[in-house]
Amino acid sequence: MDKIAFLGAGSTVFAKNVLGDCMLTGPLQEFEYALYDIDMQRLEESWQMLSNINRNSNGGRARIVKYMDRMEALRGARYVINAIQVGGYEPCTVTDFEIPKKYGLRQTIGDTVGIGGIFRALRTIPVMLDFVRDMEKVCPEALFLNYTNPMAILTMAMCRASFIQTVGICHSVQVCVPQLLYRLGLPQDHVKYKIAGINHMAWLLEITRNGEDYYPQIKQRAEEGPILKPYTREMLKDYPQLLYPEYDFTPDRHDDLVRFEIMKQFGCYVTESSEHNAEFMPYFIKKAHPELIEKYQIPLDEYPRRCRIQIEHWKQLKNSLVNDENLIHQRTHEYPSYILEALETGRPFTFAGNVMNEGLIDNLPKDCCVEVTCAAGQGGIQPCHVGSLPHQLAALNMSNIGLQQLTVDAALTGSREAIYQAAMLDPHTAAELTIDEIRSLVDELIEAHGSWLPEYH
């Protein structure tokens, strides 16, 4: 059936970009767009907005349908896109940040690894398993594109628990090189590169300009300054997913310092932001060394700050976006419309995808989720073989992979012991807390999450 189901359609701005793009894409213009959300008001808002875009930018050719029944939204779908957030800012994100603070454990984003990433996964995996159980019944051949974090953990859980084809997609690889070269004031023309690793910790393994290795110049410029030109809205206009209203465009904000330190020490630039990687490693957020926060300009509690600003911003944006009968859309750089266009037409499109490591990165485990170049086209989606990562980069990835695997174990088996072990293996948590403190923290978080989590034995 010519149908795209969007789970979490109440994410109105994101639905506008992803589904608006699809409606502007030739072979997808007459599809049914099935919108599903548990929040009826937000679902209605997204339906109204997308209906306006369909009328004004697509000649009304698509069918925009809202569903409160998930099974019916999925029935017969060819493609399913997931963008849910279980537990929201309140109560769950607040819980993920405030309880660890009692133990002296500070976080920046808390959605990928660390104690925040573990608990976000534990409350999200059961919901996503319900999704795939429904899909197995009503659209077993559909492609499931996941945008929800923690990306690697959730994609791994889906692939371990179901035969539904699942691919995770994220922005970090897409914008890594433009960000890097812009911040260093280096030319971006005639540049080619290779990136691989795990989500939010993939590596810029190679980069050339005009066929010559660009890394020496990048590293020299970073060592000299770095220049760290501030992001501007002009620079980011081609990357609308980065134009968050809460982004601080203050000229003296140098928020890539952690990434440049990682490149200096380990040889390669990492795809995801400094605020993420500061909490993926044991070196940067240390209560015994508070001076590191200022040195590397690490934004503690950054994700809750973004949530609060986004909530306020939506109150201001809502009327202009939802009630604008003349609303139009221009295609963005979000991946889904290009992936689906390639699958429908056979014209190839390459993108960074999160998939199970089935013969892709030789020195990472086969049962982990990796982020590699994938080719979409007539034969479906084909991940590309990478080979082996440099040992130090594989080791850094492994420091996060064990946590990911054990979190999936916990979610699929109900094992509380696996949650303890995942937390104890997290580099940042282990560097700050004792074993007894970690176990106590896990117990307190399980109790605080209450009905958001299943029972763990």
Binding site listing for Mn(2+): 170, 200
At 25, give phi and psi (nearest 5°). Answer: -105, 120
- Whether the CB-CB separation of 96 and 120 falls below 8 Å is answered with yes
Q: List for the chain the helix, strand, coil content (%; round to 5).
A: 50, 15, 35
With H, G, I as helix, E, B as strand and everything else as coil, classify residue 129: helix
Cβ neighbours of 398 (radius 10 Å): 15
Cβ neighbours of 192 (radius 10 Å): 12
Q: ∠ at Cα 211 (208, 217), nearest 5°?
A: 45
Residue 388, exposed/middle/buried by CB under 10 A (0-12, 13-18, 19+)?
Answer: exposed
Q: Kindly provide the b/e burial profile for residues 129-161, where b requires at least 16 CB atoms within 10 angstroms of the residue's own CB.
A: bebbebbeebbeebbbbbbbbbbbbbbbbbbeb
Say how far apart CA 120 and CA 452 lie, in whole Å: 10
Is 171 an annotated catalytic residue?
yes
Q: Where are the alpha helices (DSSP H) in 188-301?
A: 215-224, 257-266, 274-277, 291-295
Query: Binding site membership: which residues?
Result: 149, 170, 200
Say whether the peptide bond before residue 336 is cis (omega within 30 degrees of 0). no
Say how far apart CA 287 and CA 289 lie, in whole Å: 5
- Whether the CB-CB separation of 228 and 256 falls below 8 Å is answered with yes
Q: What is the dihedral of CA 429, 308, 353, 173, to 10 degrees?
A: -90
Residue 334, exposed/middle/buried by CB under 10 A (0-12, 13-18, 19+)?
Answer: buried
Catalytic residue positions, numbered: 171
